[in-house]
Amino acid sequence: MPDELEPADEPWWTRAVVYQIYPRSFQDTNGDGIGDLPGILQRVDHLVELGVDVLWLSPIYRSPQDDNGYDISDYEDIDPAFGTLEDLDRLLEALHERGLKLVMDLVVNHTSDEHPWFVESQSSTDNPKRDWYWWRPAREGMEPGTPGAEPTNWGSFFSGPAWDHDEATGEYYLHLFSRKQPDLNWENPEVRRAVYRMMRWWLDRGVDGFRMDVINLISKTVGPDGSLPDVPAEDGRYGQPGVAAANGPRLHEFLQEMHREVFDGRRGVGETPGTTVEHGRLLTDPARHELDMVFTFEHVSLDHGPGGRFDVHPLDLRDLKATLGRWQAGLAEAGWNALYWDNHDQPRIVSRYGDDVAYRRESATMLAIVLHLHRGTPYIYQGEELGMTNAHFTSLEEYRDIESLRWADAERDRLSEEQLLGCLAAGSRDNARTPVQWDDTAQAGFTTGRPWIAVNPNHDTINAAAERADPDSVFHLYRRLVALRHEDPVVQRGDFHLLLPDDPHVYAFTRTLGDEQLLVLGSFSSDPQVAEVGPGWSDASLVIGNYTSPVATDGDRVALRSWEAVVLRRTVSG
Ligand code: TEU
Ligand code: CA
């Protein structure tokens, strides 16, 4: 092989695939209906069979579970619902024995209001920890606790104001998420030191890295006098806090400090809602020592109308190509993308950009192939590899997610119950949180008890056992994609070039490394499509596809069946 195609000393994550587990919904072992650490241990072989390299665990720390663990009351302990520190050590050992790494969710933009830091902070205005959070008096001239008296007009991501009035001390504290998730004040160096200490404690225990929750929110726009600005908003409404609370002026400084104090050779992935390509490049340029890769949100917001995630519209494929293409181009020279469709905050991709009724297998596998062939590190969210679908809940009682419930409460006056249900069915985070479907038994093999959230009835046909038994299943296609990522330098590092930007149905691009080139085609349509790919592909070999019979090429064109994806390889002369 020419030098260029040798794996060289590229960082390991250029060759790796990450698997995300949402522990609550993965596997229960004690019949309480909540997934737990022993359940993950019991299913480690599933990860090994899939071939993934890294496990990212959504939060398992001690927590009142207001936002399913994204509200932490003790960073150095495991929530009893999930198990014990010893269970975690056992899991770590089992993973490391099999060559897998463990990445923990790090939630340090905010804590739980039950964290001892906040309990102290709240106790009085002169408590030494008062300044660990964002406390502010009511708006000048307004009566504390009355509507509109909040220090700024920031809205919470979970509806309503981002400020809560504390009767005892008469001031407000900031919470960009629920009122049980007060934001930490990263301006205070003591806060930063406490966080770094905690991170080192986990790394010393053996964990391999962190996925950093809303990490670009840690620096807010704050004036020299400590004032926080209002944001644009309609009269009497709360504005998007992102404008003033995200990507603040000290973000890079904080992350570089964290890198110095914590990492050096150890790893971090940042989740960065509302971040631009340019910003993503700055965050992940290795020379800047901030993050190794970023999760962006643009490609999973393209089907949102002005009303946000509950205002779902059909996707225009051209937007998806333009968006992902922009991120590929922007991070081509420096920086690195995390590639994902699904996670615990997103509706299932097969129900969203695919067709989960007539072409579930075809569209799930097409989406997988298209995503995994991009440049970046692919993430698989539990159940995605089984082609699991949205929950399709039909009553409000079935929902558990705080964001969904708060939104439904806020909109109840405006929308009928039927409308609410329609919006939730399309946009709710609970779509991704139904239990993993292991088999066709009563609770899908997830629990012997009553699951905390309903199992999808379609587990009678969609489940891991059935997927494993069918060589053409979504599961086996994901296995092949993971293997391809491990083996193929063009998949790992090849340059990305978007084709057919204006085609409304076909996703098309090439990846090129040295004299090797891959052509990736994916049809986002049930109707037959023809992709005009240009000359030189008729003798190309098939690398991977989601139909068993050979792909039809005719001169400069490739014919694609319903939701078909193909990857072709050729040698190009330099
Ligand atoms: O999510 C951050 C985020 O920006 C969202 O996608 C958010 O969940 C919300 O749905 C906006 O509509 C992270 C976590 O992944 C999420 O589960 C937590 O609820 C949130 O942070 C707070 O910790
Ligand atoms: Ca349990």
Ligand nearest to the CA of 70: 1
Phi-psi region of 192 (alpha: psi -120 to 50; beta: other; left: phi over 0): alpha
Position in ligand 1 atom list of the atom nearest CA 157: 11
Tell me, in angstroms, the distance from the centre of ligand 1 to residue 134's CA.
Answer: 20
Q: Is the dihedral of CA 43, 44, 50, 56 positive or negative?
A: positive
Ligand nearest to the CA of 81: 2
Q: Whose CA is nearest to atom 7 of ligand 1?
A: 345
Phi, psi torsion values for 328, nearest 5 degrees: -65, -45
- Name the burial class of residue 548, with classes exposed (0-12), middle (13-18) and buried (19+) by CB atoms within 10 angstroms of its CB: exposed
Position in ligand 1 atom list of the atom nearest CA 309: 12
Q: Output the pLDDT for position 548.
A: 92
Q: Output the pLDDT for position 3.
A: 43
Which residues belong to the active site? 213, 271
Tell me, in angstroms, the distance from the centre of ligand 1 to residue 346's CA.
Answer: 10
Tell me, in angstroms, the distance from the centre of ligand 1 to residue 427's CA.
Answer: 13
Q: What is the pLDDT of residues 238-279, one digit of tens each?
A: 999 888 999 999 999 999 999 999 987 666 788 888 889 999
Beta strands 209-212 and 267-271 are: parallel
Tell me, in angstroms, the distance from the centre of ligand 2 to residue 351's CA.
Answer: 28
Position in ligand 1 atom list of the atom nearest CA 297: 6
Q: To test ligand 1's pocket by mutation, which of 24, 214, 431 has the most ligand atoms within 8 angstroms of CB?
A: 214
Q: Output the pLDDT for position 270.
A: 82
How far apart are the C-alpha atoms of 110 and 213, rounded to whole Å?
A: 9
Q: What is the pLDDT of residues 108-118, one digit of tens each?
A: 999 999 999 99
What number of CA atoms fall less than 13 Å from residue 277's CA on the CB side? 14
Q: Whose CA is nearest to atom 23 of ligand 1?
A: 70
Q: What is the pTM of this model?
A: 0.97
Token pair recorded at residue 222: 């704050």
Tell me, in angstroms, the distance from the centre of ligand 1 to residue 426's CA.
Answer: 17
Taking the CB of residue 63, how many other CB atoms lie within 10 A of it?
A: 27
Tell me, in angstroms, the distance from the centre of ligand 1 to residue 345's CA.
Answer: 6
Q: Output the pLDDT for position 426.
A: 98
Position in ligand 1 atom list of the atom nearest CA 176: 22
Q: Output the pLDDT for position 524.
A: 98
Mean pLDDT by 10 residues, the chain (574 residues): 52 95 98 98 98 98 98 98 98 98 97 98 98 97 95 96 97 98 98 97 95 96 93 90 91 96 77 90 94 95 96 97 97 95 98 98 98 98 98 97 97 97 98 98 98 98 98 98 98 98 98 98 98 93 95 90 98 83
Ligand nearest to the CA of 344: 1
CB 105 within 8 A of CB 211: yes
Q: Output the pLDDT for position 574.
A: 59
Amino acid present at 553:
T
- Name the burial class of residue 411, with classes exposed (0-12), middle (13-18) and buried (19+) by CB atoms within 10 angstroms of its CB: middle
Ligand nearest to the CA of 33: 2
How far apart are the C-alpha atoms of 525 and 522, rounded to whole Å?
A: 9
Q: Which residues, at least 6 apart from 244, have a Cβ–Cβ distance to it below 8 Å? A: 152, 154, 220, 221, 228, 229, 230, 231
The β-bridge partners of 341 are none
How far apart are the C-alpha atoms of 215 and 256, rounded to whole Å?
A: 13
The β-bridge partners of 378 are 339
Q: Whose CA is nearest to atom 2 of ligand 1?
A: 214
CB 256 within 8 A of CB 290: yes
End-to-end CA distance of the chain: 15
Place of tokens 């001892």: 116
C-alpha closest to that of 251 among 223, 292, 291: 291
Q: Helix/strand/coil (H, E, C) string of 533-571? A: CCCCCCCCEEEEECCCCCCEEECCEEEECCCCEEEEEEE
Q: Whose CA is nearest to atom 20 of ligand 1?
A: 70
DSSP 259: I
Which residues' Cβ are closer than 6 Å to ligand 1? 67, 70, 107, 157, 177, 213-214, 273, 309, 344-345, 403, 429
Taking the CB of residue 103, how many other CB atoms lie within 10 A of it?
A: 21
Q: Whose CA is nearest to atom 17 of ligand 1?
A: 345
What are the DSSP E strand ranges found in 307-371?
A: 308-312, 338-339
Report helix angle 360-372 to 474-487, nearest 10. Answer: 10
Tell me, in angstroms, the distance from the centre of ligand 2 to residue 16's CA.
Answer: 30
Taking the CB of residue 527, how many other CB atoms lie within 10 A of it?
A: 9
Q: Which residues, at least 6 apart from 318, have a Cβ–Cβ distance to it below 8 Å? A: 501, 502, 503, 504
Position in ligand 1 atom list of the atom nearest CA 344: 17
Which residues surround the ion ligand 2 when the cut-off is CB under 5 Å? Answer: 28, 30, 32, 34, 36
